[in-house]
Amino acid sequence: MSSVELQGIFSFRMKGEKIHKMDREFKEVYQQSASIIAEAYRNLAADRLPNPLPVRRLVNDMIDTGRSASVADLARDHDRRLPHYARHTLMVTNLSLLIAGAAGFSNATLSDLGVAAMFHDVGYSLKEDGYWVPFERHTTAGLNSLMRQRGFHEAKVRRLLAVAEHHRPYDSPKGRPSLFARIIHVADDYDILTRFRPGKGPVLSHPDALARMAAHAGKAYDPDLFQVFVNKMGMFPPGSILRLGSGRLVVSASGARSQKTFAKPLCQVVRNADGSQAGNRDWVDLASEDRVIKVLQPSAGT
Average pLDDT score over residue span 112-130: 80
State the pLDDT at residue 276.
Answer: 93
**For residues 285-301, b (16+ Cβ closer than 10 Å) or e, as one string?**
ebeeebebeebeebeee
**What are the tens digits of pLDDT across the range 180-228?**
999 999 999 999 899 877 666 668 999 999 999 999 999 999 999 999 9
- Residue 123 clears pLDDT 50, i.e. is over it: yes
pLDDT confidence bin for 241, thresholds 50/70/90 = very high
Percent of the chain exceeding pLDDT 90 equals: 44
pLDDT confidence bin for 270, thresholds 50/70/90 = very high
The 3-state secondary structure of the chain reads CCCCCCCCCCCCCCCCCCCCCCCCCHHHHHHHHHHHHHHHHHHHHCCCCCCCHHHHHHHHHHHHHCCCCCHHHHHHHHHCCCCHHHHHHHHHHHHHHHHHHHCCCCHHHHHHHHHHHHCCCHHHHCEECCEECCHHHHHHHHHHHHCCCCCCCHHHHHHHHHHHHCCCCCCCCCCCCCHHHHHHHHHHHHHHHHCCCCCCCCCCCHHHHHHHHHCCECCCECHHHHHHHHHHHCCCCCCCEEEECCCCEEEECCCCCCCCCCCCCEEEEEECCCCCECCCCCEEECCCCCCEEEEECCCCCC
State the pLDDT at residue 28.
Answer: 72
State the pLDDT at residue 54.
Answer: 85
**What are the tens digits of pLDDT across the range 46-74?**
778 777 888 888 888 888 776 544 555 55
pLDDT confidence bin for 6, thresholds 50/70/90 = very low
Nearest to 57 by CA among 41, 76, 33, 78: 33
State the pLDDT at residue 75.
Answer: 60
State the pLDDT at residue 66.
Answer: 64
**What are the tens digits of pLDDT across the range 92-106?**
998 999 999 999 999
- Residue 130 clears pLDDT 70, i.e. is over it: no
pLDDT confidence bin for 21, thresholds 50/70/90 = very low
Query: Do the beta carbons of residue 282 and residue 269 sit within 8 Å?
Result: yes
- Residue 282 clears pLDDT 50, i.e. is over it: yes
- Residue 239 clears pLDDT 80, i.e. is over it: yes
pLDDT confidence bin for 3, thresholds 50/70/90 = very low
State the pLDDT at residue 22.
Answer: 38
- Residue 19 clears pLDDT 90, i.e. is over it: no
Average pLDDT score over residue span 244-248: 96
- Residue 8 clears pLDDT 50, i.e. is over it: no
State pTM to two decimals: 0.81
Domain 26-233 homologous superfamily, CATH: Hypothetical protein af1432 (1.10.3210.10)
128 strand-pairing partners: 131
Query: Do the beta carbons of residue 194 and residue 204 sit within 8 Å?
Result: yes
Query: Do the beta carbons of residue 255 and residue 73 sit within 8 Å?
Result: yes
Nearest to 165 by CA among 176, 154, 151, 149: 176
- Residue 26 clears pLDDT 80, i.e. is over it: no
pLDDT confidence bin for 244, thresholds 50/70/90 = very high
**What are the tens digits of pLDDT across the range 162-171?**
988 999 999 9
Nearest to 72 by CA among 92, 52, 95, 88: 95
Query: In the chain, what are the domain boundaries?
Result: 26-233, 241-296
Average pLDDT score over residue span 135-161: 76
